[in-house]
Amino acid sequence: MLEAMPLGTRRASWWDTLRLQLFVSLPVVLAGLVAPTRWYLAWRCRHDAGRATMRFLASLREKYGCELLWTWFPLRRTLLVLAPEAIEAVLASKDNAGDPAIKKRALSRFAPGSVIVSSGGEWEERRPFNEAVLDFGTLHRHHEAFGAVVAREVGQVVAGELRFPQFQALGQRISQQVILGALRPDMNAQLACLLARSNLLLRDRKRFAALYRELEGALSEPGAECLVADAAARDAPAAVPVAPQIAFWMFVLKDAIELHVPRTLALIAAHPEVQRRARDEVRGKAALTAKAVSALPYLDACLREQLRLWTPVPLLLRRATTTFDLREGVRVAREQQILVHAGFYHRDPRVFAQADRFAPDAAMGTFPATYFFSAHRQGCAGRSLVTFVLTATLAMLLARFRFELQGPAIDTARIAYLYDHFALTLRAVGD
Ligand code: HEM
């Protein structure tokens, strides 16, 4: 399926570089560098604006006849990488870091010192700390406790209409119990306000101080069987400020649940045969124990397909930490940026046979590499944990209810590039 493209690089014209700002940079900023901007998502969905970005990137590839283009992306000269094998090389390379200025400035407003905005020696110390507490690559040591949290929360969902606020509450409640071991409703507004300000590269000092006071308090008296307890028990090196790692986890875990649970259910509900199979798989288990949750290949494929179709982190931006050759003849100088458009790759018909369809069956077979968790050394450190929490939540919901999608509608023949989950209404029907 994949036709080979020339391996060299070309330089995008100033006009195409300008268009790249319009189709790629500007939408990323308006969509919210940290927290999603509701009105803009609604507007983009109404106008199918994601399609224009995809068409533009495909047209660049066509026009220049290559998949490595020198251009500009805030705030530096940037190599745009569309070639699959070069994506692998970028993400596997030790010569770049995931802390380019724009990302660092935005995320540091609420989680300064977190691993996601680190490089060099600091990253080397912060990454193992994150991997250890999040139990990267394996079932989390507290999987039974986390499964029980999810079961308790899903048990409180009642049949009828479900909208975004209900999923948001689910995200807040589950993430706080998994991370802090207790419910802390006071933190919801603090975090929401800090994230909204971070979009503008600003910090709300009062709320920042209040959140970090709470986190330090939680670290000194941690609940049982939660991430904070494990973080507190570790002798963190001086380069690892612990509270910011936790602040980052709180943001991403809450965000993951409130976004990926409703979106995956919407896709499942829009495909009746998929819903039947997913529910049969879930209800085929004698009990939804934590071990049973991690052995649901079909539901797992549904989740992965949702992440592929609506890639939550569509841009993977890297900063070259040294001058290096990405491959022969492709030199990237220190401080230049490399931009991998994972969102474009995941919808590329040259890579995926059913690029615009929800295809869990295909995802269970031999499938091209996917990058919704990024990959390799700086790939998502919370991948195993979040996959477990999301699958558990979905499984427990599907065990209790059949879902009907009331809106926004999904065109199953060509899934739109974006979906407005803030406007979503699902109807949960008990058996
Ligand atoms: C489905 C939900 C999630 C997705 C799709 C996701 C995706 C990603 C991606 C794409 C990156 C790389 C970002 C970049 O290079 O710019 C990343 C990094 C990271 N993620 Fe996640 N993530 C998710 C949830 C989580 C959760 C819940 C946690 C922790 C509780 C977490 C912890 C991390 C950490 C610590 C990093 C930084 C790794 C590093 O820089 O070495 N993620 N994630």
Inter-residue contact 247 to 211 (CB < 8 Å):
yes
Cα of 256 vs centre of ligand 1, distance in Å, is 10
Counting from 1 in the atom list of ligand 1, the atom nearest the Cα of 123 is 41
Average pLDDT, integer, range 76-104: 95
410 lines ligand 1 (CB under 6 A): no
Residue-wise pLDDT tens digits, 219-255: 999 989 999 999 999 999 999 999 999 999 999 999 9
- Cβ-based burial of 179 (10 A; exposed 0-12, middle 13-18, buried ≥19): buried
352 lines ligand 1 (CB under 6 A): no
Residue-wise pLDDT tens digits, 359-371: 999 999 999 999 9
227 lines ligand 1 (CB under 6 A): no
Neighbours of 80 (CB within 10 A): 25
Counting from 1 in the atom list of ligand 1, the atom nearest the Cα of 317 is 16
Distance CA 222, CA 218 (A): 5
Distance CA 70, CA 63 (A): 14
State which H helix or E strand residue 29 sits in: helix 26-31
Average pLDDT, integer, range 330-349: 97
Give CA separation, 413 vs 132, 165, 263, 309, in Å: 42, 29, 17, 13
308 lines ligand 1 (CB under 6 A): no
Residue with tokens 């008990």: 430
Counting from 1 in the atom list of ligand 1, the atom nearest the Cα of 114 is 35
- CATH number, domain 10-430: 1.10.630.10
Q: Per-residue DSSP letters for 169-196? A: HHHHHHHHHHHHSS--THHHHHHHHHHH
What is the pLDDT at residue 328? 86
Please give the model's pTM, rounded to 2 decimal places: 0.97
Q: Give me the half-sphere count of Cα atoms (radius 13 Å) on the Cβ side of residue 354.
A: 12
Residue 7 has pLDDT above 90, yes or no: no
